[in-house]
Amino acid sequence: MFSLEKLTRKNIWNLAPYSCARNEFSGTTATVFLDANENPYGIDNLNRYPDPLQLEVKKLIEKVKGIPTAYTFLGNGSDEAIDLMYRCFCEPKEDNVVAIEPTYGMYKVCADINDVEYRPVLLDENYQITADKLLAACDAHTKVIWICSPNNPTGNDINRDEIVKVLTSFEGIVVVDEAYSDFSAQRPLRFELPRYPNLVVLNTLSKAWASAAIRLGMAFASPAIIDILNKVKYPYNVNLLTQQQAMKILSDPDEVDRWVQLIMQERTRMMQAFSQLSICEKVYPTNANFFLTKVTDAQRIYDYLVSQGIIVRNRTRVQLCNNCLRITIGTRNENSELIGALRQYK
């Protein structure tokens, strides 16, 4: 049986969170604010602390993403939510987490920072995993399983049936990172939250929403899990400028849909063009805004592209990615410049 209280660190479960001035006041009619020791002089409300729970942003996210505000946590990028999973649920030097490998590197970095054992489980030759293999790596001290889908750096969706099997078999928390889900045809797992009390789904404005600079990440989960994350986060973790820009971009989802379609069209063109290059040994299937390709000599080709002022990601040192480059889909002109440079490579 899933028990959130048993999963949560005792000190966190019993924690009395910091109560900031803007938490204590929830009315909408006040015009004089003398509660938070702010400077009364300033412009554009930048002299005032922002809403600590970002309620206006969450209301827009509910319209766009279809997830109620009570199921939504906002952080300083998805990395804040990743770190909080360790701080809330994993006892240092005692608990462990399990993750697919290769995958997004911050899961391990945060584990190391929080002194929590990290257990990677290798994907197969098709960059897939079975639930049985993940579950076999777990023990009584496994608190979290990390699954990135579409995965980074491989680009592919992880088999949904296997994810569901993990969710229904594991008594800890399963985090599914859907940072790239806007580029995938698979139905996002965030819509299944009511069925799985142990599910946490990560999202971000950094990819499809073209807002990497503002650092706005989302975690969708049951209200009980969201309450724990909100207890531990810093009081004003998302600044006002970020909230304002997030509301601006979230107010125009049609434009984002147009960008996504353009990127996916370019993705098809780029993968076809890449497969015809003499340096290319394989282009892997992808459901993200990038693709992984195996080439003849990743380091040499990477260095050549740097000399041409073109930067891609060399993943050759990542497990199962020997001699692989990760190519982000850019504008049509940027993509053509990359292909043109590689056609001149000798």
What residue spans define the domains of the chain?
A: 4-251, 254-344
H or E element that contains 13? helix 10-13
pLDDT in the model for residue 20:
84
- Terminal C-alpha separation, the chain: 60
pLDDT in the model for residue 117:
98
**pLDDT tens across 11-65, in order?**
999 999 998 877 776 656 788 989 899 999 999 999 999 999 999 999 999 999 9
Q: Tell me the C-alpha to C-alpha distance, in Å, between residue 256 and each of 238, 251, 263.
A: 22, 10, 11
The strands making up 313-314's β-sheet, listed across from edge to edge, are 280-283, 290-295, 324-328, 313-314
pLDDT in the model for residue 337:
98
pLDDT in the model for residue 289:
98
What does pTM read for this prediction? 0.96
pLDDT in the model for residue 6:
96
- Where does 254-344 sit in CATH, by number? 3.90.1150.10
pLDDT in the model for residue 30:
82
pLDDT in the model for residue 26:
65
pLDDT in the model for residue 27:
58
Q: Tell me the CATH class for 4-251.
A: alpha beta
315 touches 249 (CB < 8 A)? no
pLDDT in the model for residue 19:
86
pLDDT in the model for residue 1:
82
Amino acid at 50: P
Give the residue ranges of the chain where pLDDT is below 50.
none
pLDDT in the model for residue 346:
87
The residues, ordered by sequence, that sit 6+ positions from 3 with a Cβ below 8 Å of its Cβ are 171
pLDDT in the model for residue 21:
74
CA dist 119 and 138 (Å) reads 8
Burial of 230 (0-12, 13-18, 19+ CB in 10 A): middle
In this chain, the answer to whether the domains covering 4-251 and 254-344 adopt an identical fold is: no
Cβ atoms within 10 Å of 161's Cβ, excluding its own:
9
